[in-house]
Chains A and B, each alone.
Chain A
Amino acid sequence: MKKRHFSVSLATILIFWAITVFAGGAMWVSSENAKLKSAPKASSKTLSTLAVGTKVSVLESENRWYRLRSASGKEGWMYRGKLSDAPPAKETDSSDNLFSSMQSSSISADEAQTSRSIRGLSKETEQYAKQRKTPKVYKKALDQVLAIRVTDKEVDLFLMRGKIGEYAP
């Protein structure tokens, strides 16, 4: 009987250990524009860009860089700021229930692209402005604000010029 208890305890511990080791080696891409590089420096060749939410296995680390492998077998180096030790929150683009959960969400890559390409005031905001008799000057101001679009390339160049993050010496 005691022997059986011991075996069960040992098996439980082993399973538990396996789960935690698995969780420990895994990280998730949590930033937009997360580039997989051939070496632990920004000037090295970009092998690919991994999508937000991609699960990766960390193989080694050097300074502020991780060498990793994605589930699809892609291997390379990524700046630490692009990764986190928990899966990022996801986003939904359509749902009938507005408030079923305020804490988490899910988004597919396509939906994210749709969201990021939205431009100008929505039809509904226009209706709001009409009902409120919002002065034109505020609508024009908002239109101008929404017209500003910053591309990943521009952000990269900006970070490079400031020697920030992966571009730091």
Chain B
Amino acid sequence: MHKKIAIICLLPLISLMLVSLVFAGADGQTSKTNDKSPLKLAGLLDKLLDPKSKESKMLSGAVSILGSTSEMDYKSERTIGESLALEGFHRYGLPVKDKALQAYVNLVGNAVARNSDRPNIPYNFVVVESPLQNAFSCPGGIIFVSSGLLKTIQSEDQLAGVLAHEVAHVGHKHALQSIQRAQFFDGVGKITSATMEGKKGKEFENMIGSLQNTLFDKGLDQNMEFEADRSALKTAYRTGYDPNGFIQVLKELKRIQSQSTQKGSWFSTHPPLGQRIQNCQDQLRRYPDAKTLAHLPDRFKQYQKHIPN
């Protein structure tokens, strides 16, 4: 008898809980910021809610922030990024000499970066002269995009998606994760002038070499790429660009893949495009009004003309 009463009481309460959760996530946004952290409350909710549901993911994100907060200081991260950027110019080419184009890419990039998972660090974007279809990000927020890739892109929402993908790598510290076991970090808490000299200095160089190998040739872990893709769609959407623009870039790259140079490009450093497109299209369902958002092909093309042939 008591059990029956308990069940009768339980039903409206659970309904209320669900309604309140749906209300909170009504805009289609979900946060993936910390969805890897183990959490007691999330675990508890997962027993009641479908673990794949928007609500459960939202809640797991909501509480995961209670986890650890300590990590590499920003200045050390930036030094790694700057050193890698110097190698990036060596490998891919110098910046395109056009202030208007560079300023435009920095505006699109900063617009999305302000709505990214890591909005409060400085971001710098640079278009480098290279026929390779490529974009990559250095730790700390320096982001490269090749003139070759810019020529493939057709509209501002597409560019926003690509830049948001690279911003996401910075936000999730993907490149840093790939070097966290580097010898350089043995006994080093912070990068200083002293750690750049002698044996440690050599180890730092080796570490930058290893980063180059990962970012320019081998590619990051596939799951990192998928995570950056998900973040790219979310960030573009939050800014007000159609997240489908990013998928259009992936589709175009897939179309031209067979006649493009593979080595050192997005083709060789990223997971198979078909799988990425499929994953992104699944993710796109979260953004039902995506098509009504900004595309801006004309403004993009106005600046695309600045790219040298």
A interface with B by C-beta (< 8 Å): 2-3, 5-6, 9-10, 13-14, 16-17, 19-21, 23-27, 30-33, 52, 58, 61, 64, 66, 80-107, 111-112, 115-118, 121-125, 127-129, 131-132, 134-135, 137-139, 141-142, 144-146, 148-150, 152, 154-155, 158-159, 162-168
Q: Are A27 and B24 in contact (CB under 8 A)?
A: yes
Q: Are A21 and B67 in contact (CB under 8 A)?
A: no
Q: Are B13 and A122 in contact (CB under 8 A)?
A: no
Is B120's CB within 8 Å of the partner chain A?
A: yes
B interface with A by C-beta (< 8 Å): 2, 5-6, 9-10, 13, 16-17, 20-21, 23-27, 29-31, 33-34, 36-37, 41, 44-45, 58-59, 61-65, 67-76, 78-79, 82-83, 85-86, 89-90, 94-95, 102-103, 106-108, 110-111, 114-115, 117-122, 124, 126, 142, 156, 171, 173, 176-177, 180, 185, 188-193, 195-197, 201, 204-205, 208, 237-241, 293-294, 296, 299
Residues in A with CB closer than 8 Å to B193 are: 123-124, 127
Residues in B with CB closer than 8 Å to A149 are: 122
Q: Beyond A100-B68, A102-B176, is A81–B239 a contact (Cβ under 8 Å)?
A: yes
Nearest CB of B to A155, in Å: 5
Q: Are B69 and A92 in contact (CB under 8 A)?
A: yes
Q: Label chain B's interface by main secondary structure.
A: helix
Residues in A with CB closer than 8 Å to B13 are: 13-14, 17
* Cα of A144 to Cα of B195 in the assembled complex, Å: 26
Nearest CB of A to B66, in Å: 9
Residues in B with CB closer than 8 Å to A106 are: 69-70
Q: Are A127 and B238 in contact (CB under 8 A)?
A: no
Q: Are A116 and B122 in contact (CB under 8 A)?
A: yes
* Cα of A94 to Cα of B205 in the assembled complex, Å: 23
* Cα of A96 to Cα of B206 in the assembled complex, Å: 22
Given known contacts A13-B9, A118-B75, what 9 new A-B pairs fall within 8 Å (CB)?
A23-B63, A81-B239, A100-B68, A116-B120, A123-B193, A125-B86, A131-B205, A164-B111, A165-B294
> Nearest CB to that of B33 among chain A residues?
A89
Nearest CB of B to A60, in Å: 10
> Nearest CB to that of A165 among chain B residues?
B240
Q: How many A-B residue pairs have CB under 8 A?
A: 297
19 contacts across the A-B interface (CB closer than 8 A): A24-B20, A26-B24, A30-B119, A52-B119, A58-B23, A85-B31, A87-B65, A89-B171, A93-B75, A97-B70, A99-B185, A112-B121, A138-B86, A145-B124, A145-B142, A150-B110, A158-B111, A159-B239, A164-B294
Residues in A with CB closer than 8 Å to B79 are: 122, 124-125, 128
Q: Beyond A95-B71, A102-B180, is A88–B208 a contact (Cβ under 8 Å)?
A: no
Q: Are A91 and B68 in contact (CB under 8 A)?
A: no
Residues in A with CB closer than 8 Å to B69 are: 90, 92, 101, 104-106
Q: Are B299 and A162 in contact (CB under 8 A)?
A: yes
* Cα of A164 to Cα of B155 in the assembled complex, Å: 13
Picked from B17, B86, B94, B111, the residue with its CB within 8 Å of the CB of A21 is B17
Residues in A with CB closer than 8 Å to B76 are: 98
Q: Beyond A13-B13, A105-B71, A124-B191, is A142–B85 a contact (Cβ under 8 Å)?
A: yes
Nearest CB of A to B280, in Å: 19
* Cα of A30 to Cα of B115 in the assembled complex, Å: 7
Nearest CB of A to B69, in Å: 4
* Cα of A34 to Cα of B124 in the assembled complex, Å: 21
Q: Beyond A23-B24, A150-B110, A164-B240, is A85–B294 a contact (Cβ under 8 Å)?
A: no
